[in-house]
Chains A and B, each alone.
Chain A
Amino acid sequence: MQIWIILPLLVPLLTGVSALIRYRKIRRTFVMAGTFVNMMVSLFILFHLRNGGVFVSQMGGHPAPYGISIVVDTLSAILLAVTGIMAFAITLYSHGTIDANRERFAYYPLLAFLLMGINFSFLSGDLFTLYVAFEVMLMSSFVLLTLGGERPQLGGGMNYVTLNLISSTIFLIAAGLTYAVAGTLNLADLAQRLSGLPAPGITTLLAGLFLIAFGIKAAIFPLFFWLPESYHTPPIAITALFGGILTKVGIYSMWRILVMIFPQDLTYLQPLILTIAALTMITGVLGAIAQTEIRRLLSFHIVSQIGYLMMGMGLLTTVSLTGAVFFMVHVIFAKTVLFLISGITHKMQGSYELKQLGGFQKSHPLVAVLFLLAALSLAGVPPLPGFWAKLILIQAGLESQQYGIVAVALIVSILTLFSMTKIWHEVFWKTAKIETLIEKKSANRQVRWLMAPTVLLIAFIILLGIFAEPVYQISRQAALGILEPSAYVEGVLLLEENDQ
């Protein structure tokens, strides 16, 4: 029994509850301490699982296929750690950007409950727990997205809520049908029972349903329209958190379920998935190029990057999934940082429109350097982690002789670079057209809460680039963990013998 792996659930829950307190300073201290402890716990778990392995905890002591299993393997541990870092950074950032009114209406508790939902999804060991975790996450995200009730938020929120509820419904249908087919909902048990079945069959239907359900959440090609409609409407701290993490929870579930349980159907569906991946990349980046508002532009980039993650799953080799895991870690950091920087420029010049912003490389060279690092990493320029991740993915594509998807991935990289230079030119090089709202001296004090997390995340990006080899090894362990789930299956199912 490794009961302490429920700490990533318990800590955010207690944080959320304690953040309901009325006094602003105590509340902020609680939230900061809570997210910090959560980050440390997650990093600790990752440290223990860096060479593969599985931690399992059976809730209530019921043995594996019957009770609720909380499972962490390397992939979950990586994402828990990244989420922990991100949540801590966003909490710091929120101190400087969230208005008093939103804060009074339970902003911080919701943030903590959202964190709990995300962690819960990474820890779930069976389909129905995963559904419940998704609902915890979605409910918090619904409220966070619409908190404040400004008109754009209501419109975007309506889209977001509707599409995500439809996705949950399809997920529930798929889970119900899986239970009818296999007689179990435990992921380890399912992996054992279903992975041998012939490819075009009843399991292919289930795989397709899961692909649609998680595809809506992950914003893959024909199902992504809710994302650019809604993500730019809430305060920037929330946009950054959603843009960084939420779609990746969908991708994580897709990997966990499709790769681990339905690998033979995934091989059968490979042409479809690679086509979806290519179209997701292209439509995302073309949409981004057409935008003139930073938040919308970056929202379309989220969609584009999802394509690379789909590509890694579609190729279905150890190398491709290693690359995809690496890419996921990097893109969560890079994307969040870009949103955070757009928040800083908004704080200083009061706009998100490219046309109105300008002159930052002269007035705030540090902000310009931070943006440049994140943007070049996103596009994939050599010493930065984005390059290594894309290199591994493209190598995997060449090994599998899927030249079409490799060509698309390379072209989309160039287009990404192009749209990043557009922001660079408009926001940083161009001379400023409007007065900078905050004078330099007071800027330091006001922007301190905004700069600290941004610098923290940029430091992580640089570290990911420098220590690419260890990151590669950990990603490889994560990829092996879902491609050859024997360790996972044994870890979850054999525990019942140890207990009895």
Chain B
Amino acid sequence: MLLVFAITAGVIFACGVYLMLRRSMVRLIIGLSLLTYAVNLLIFSMDDLGTRGAPIIDSTPPEQMADPLPQALILTSIVISFGVLAFTLALGYRASQAIQSDNLDDLKSTDDEV
């Protein structure tokens, strides 16, 4: 189970980095959000996967409980990455409107108006 998680996280990481290395703004944003998904998987695999019950008092004996902390971390991280994604999408939209293209290289000349 851990091996499956490791490979999946690795593949998502690879996809994310590959997309970020393209010159397209949309791919950059998708790549960034893929990276955060990969990290979430990685944090999730910190606990013994699928061998323990839900960490709810009275429903699972304490020694069989899964560690709730990684799940709490992932939940927070998902919320944060959602906010960040919303912002990067807005920024990407404004930028693509300003340069009339999706190509990041067109954005490079930061001193045009100085």
Q: Which residues of A contact B (CB under 8 A)?
A: 128, 131-132, 135, 139, 142-143, 146, 149-152, 154-158, 161-162, 165-166, 169, 172-173, 175-177, 179-180, 185, 229-230, 232-233, 293, 352-353
Verify B114–A152 contact, CB threshold 8 A. yes
Per-position 1/0 for B74-91, Cβ under 8 A of A: 001100100110011001
Q: Chain B residue with minimal CB distance to A151?
A: B98
Verify B39–A172 contact, CB threshold 8 A. yes
Q: Which residues of B contact A (CB under 8 A)?
A: 20, 25, 28, 32, 35-36, 39, 42-43, 46, 69-70, 73, 76-77, 80, 83-84, 87-88, 91-92, 94-95, 98-99, 104, 107-114
How far is the CB of B82 from the nearest CB of chain A, in Å? 11
Verify A155–B39 contact, CB threshold 8 A. no
**Complex partner residue of A146 from B43, B91, B110, CB under 8 angstroms:** B91
Contacts of A146 in B (CB 8 A): 91, 94
Verify A161–B91 contact, CB threshold 8 A. yes
Contact of A166 with B110 at beta-carbon distance under 8 Å, contacts A132-B80, A139-B84, A158-B91 already known = no
Contacts of A162 in B (CB 8 A): 20, 28, 32
Verify B108–A155 contact, CB threshold 8 A. yes
Contacts of B43 in A (CB 8 A): 172, 176, 179
Q: Chain B residue with minimal CB distance to A295?
A: B114
How far is the CB of B1 from the nearest CB of chain A, in Å? 15
Bound Cα distance from A154 to B92, whole angstroms: 8
Contacts of B32 in A (CB 8 A): 162, 165-166
Bound Cα distance from A139 to B84, whole angstroms: 7
How far is the CB of A129 from the nearest CB of chain B, in Å? 10
Contact of A229 with B110 at beta-carbon distance under 8 Å, contacts A139-B87, A158-B91, A173-B42 already known = yes
Verify A152–B77 contact, CB threshold 8 A. no
Q: Chain A residue with minimal CB distance to B95?
A: A154
Bound Cα distance from A166 to B73, whole angstroms: 18
**Complex partner residue of B76 from A128, A150, A157, A177, CB under 8 angstroms:** A128
Verify A176–B42 contact, CB threshold 8 A. yes
**Complex partner residue of B113 from A142, A151, A161, A169, CB under 8 angstroms:** A151
Q: Chain B residue with minimal CB distance to A156?
A: B110
Verify A179–B104 contact, CB threshold 8 A. no
**Complex partner residue of A161 from B88, B99, B114, CB under 8 angstroms:** B88
Contact of A155 with B109 at beta-carbon distance under 8 Å, contacts A132-B80, A143-B87, A165-B84 already known = yes
Give the interface SS of chain A, mostly helix, strand, loop or mixed: helix
Contact of A169 with B35 at beta-carbon distance under 8 Å, contacts A154-B91, A155-B110 already known = yes
Q: Chain A residue with minimal CB distance to B88?
A: A161
Verify B76–A142 contact, CB threshold 8 A. no
Most buried by B among A176, A229, A352: A176
How far is the CB of A100 from the nearest CB of chain B, in Å? 20
Contacts of B110 in A (CB 8 A): 151-152, 155-156, 229-230, 232-233
Known contacts A161-B91, A172-B39, A229-B110; 5 further A-B pairs (Cβ under 8 A):
A135-B80, A151-B98, A154-B98, A158-B25, A176-B39
How far is the CB of B89 from the nearest CB of chain A, in Å? 11
Verify A142–B87 contact, CB threshold 8 A. yes
Verify B20–A128 contact, CB threshold 8 A. no
Contacts of B25 in A (CB 8 A): 158
Q: Chain B residue with minimal CB distance to A164?
A: B84
Contacts of B69 in A (CB 8 A): 179, 185
Contacts of B88 in A (CB 8 A): 161, 165
Contacts of B104 in A (CB 8 A): 158
Q: Chain A residue with minimal CB distance to B108?
A: A155
Contacts of A293 in B (CB 8 A): 111, 114
How far is the CB of A137 from the nearest CB of chain B, in Å? 12
Bound Cα distance from A157 to B94, whole angstroms: 11
Bound Cα distance from A472 to B78, whole angstroms: 43
Verify B107–A135 contact, CB threshold 8 A. no
How far is the CB of A1 from the nearest CB of chain B, in Å? 24
Bound Cα distance from A329 to B32, whole angstroms: 34
Q: Chain A residue with minimal CB distance to B76?
A: A132
How far is the CB of A133 from the nearest CB of chain B, in Å? 11
How far is the CB of A389 from the nearest CB of chain B, in Å? 33
How far is the CB of B62 from the nearest CB of chain A, in Å? 14
Contacts of A165 in B (CB 8 A): 32, 35, 84, 88
Contacts of B39 in A (CB 8 A): 169, 172-173, 176
Verify B70–A166 contact, CB threshold 8 A. no
Q: Chain A residue with minimal CB distance to B84?
A: A165
How far is the CB of A374 from the nearest CB of chain B, in Å? 24
List 25 A-B pairs, Cβ < 8 Å: A139-B84, A143-B87, A146-B91, A151-B99, A151-B112, A152-B114, A154-B94, A154-B107, A157-B95, A158-B25, A161-B91, A162-B20, A162-B32, A165-B35, A166-B32, A172-B39, A173-B39, A176-B42, A176-B70, A177-B42, A179-B43, A179-B69, A180-B46, A229-B110, A293-B111
